[in-house]
Amino acid sequence: MRPLLFSVIIRFLGKGRTPDALAQAPDQELVRLYQRTQDLRAVSVLLDRYADVIAGIAMRQLRDEEAVRDFAGDLYLKLTDKLLNTEVVHVKSWLLTTVNNALTDLGRKARVRREYRERVRATSPVGTEVPSGMPLDQHYLTGALHTLSEREQRCVQYIYFQDLSYQEIMELEGWTFNQVRGMRDRAMKKLRQALGPEFQQYFQED
């Protein structure tokens, strides 16, 4: 497998190369620096430091190099947000726990999709195309979806109908990670209120 370098993401975003002093900083100092300045290069240095371990854990579960790279991109975006509001004492332990939790969530979502497709296939006439998205009946939920703004509806469509990652949505719409997450959270709150007890039947949340 080709090396997994999170610093490549930073250069792609135009943030420049990592200073040598930053590359030599201890883990805890990198976390404090990012929390103080939001310098994304600090996160990339931290993740590059453990990239081989992260890639190994992800590869054992995902068993596909391209899937590992997609996971790495999503992990980077989640960590840049999570680190801002988390007090981290043992950085490596916290980081690897976060990686394992993210992979568990990914596996759970894949299992839900697979079970849904199997149920649809078992009850549909031969030759019926099985949708690839989450188990969301859009016709039934039309009224609830109309409680959302246009942007929130698009966000729900991307995540739950089209199964796009946050990174893909950001590239498609030009939204930031926080905008995507914020729209998703607001949409879920409105849909939970509109659907009541039936909400969990249609949506799986992180």
Query: How much of the chain exceeds pLDDT 90, in percent?
Result: 16
Q: Are both 20 and 95 inside the same structural domain?
A: yes
More confident residue, 119 or 27: 27
Q: Are both 101 and 150 inside the same structural domain?
A: no
Domain count, the chain: 2
Select from 34, 38, 41 the least CA-distant residue to 17. Answer: 41
Task: Answer left, alpha or beta for residue 125, where phi above 0 means left and psi between -120 and 50 means alpha.
Answer: beta
Select from 72, 78, 49 the least CA-distant residue to 59. Answer: 72
For residues 113 and 163, is the Cβ–Cβ distance under 8 A? yes
Q: Are both 138 and 100 inside the same structural domain?
A: no
Extract the tokens encoding 119. 């149920």
pTM of the predicted structure, to 2 decimals: 0.57
- Where residue 88 sits, what CATH number does that domain have? 1.10.1740.10
Rounded to 5 degrees, φ, ψ at 139 are -60, -45
Per-residue model confidence as pLDDT tens digits over 148-176: 888 898 888 888 777 788 888 888 888 88
CA separation for the pair 162, 178 (Å, rounded):
20
Q: Are both 88 and 170 inside the same structural domain?
A: no
Residue 186 lies in a domain: yes
Residue 173 lies in a domain: yes
Residue 181 lies in a domain: yes
Residue 125 lies in a domain: no
Residue 116 lies in a domain: no
Q: Are both 102 and 137 inside the same structural domain?
A: no
**Is the pLDDT confidence value at 6 over 60?**
no
Q: Are both 21 and 95 inside the same structural domain?
A: yes
Per-residue model confidence as pLDDT tens digits over 62-92: 888 888 888 888 888 888 888 988 999 999 9
Span 190-202, mean pLDDT?
72
Rounded to 5°, angle at Cα 71 from 68 and 76: 125
One-letter amino acid at 89 equals V
**Is the pLDDT confidence value at 9 over 70?**
no
pLDDT of residue 203: 64
Domain that holds residue 42: 7-106
CA separation for the pair 103, 94 (Å, rounded):
14
Rounded to 5 degrees, φ, ψ at 38 are 55, 35
Per-residue model confidence as pLDDT tens digits over 110-141: 776 666 566 656 665 555 454 444 444 444 46
- What's the mean pLDDT when you consider all of the chain? 77
Residue 172 lies in a domain: yes
Residue 92 lies in a domain: yes
- Where residue 163 sits, what CATH number does that domain have? 1.10.10.10
Residue 28 lies in a domain: yes
Residue whose pair of structure tokens reads 């100092």 in the numeric block: 29
Q: Are both 20 and 79 inside the same structural domain?
A: yes
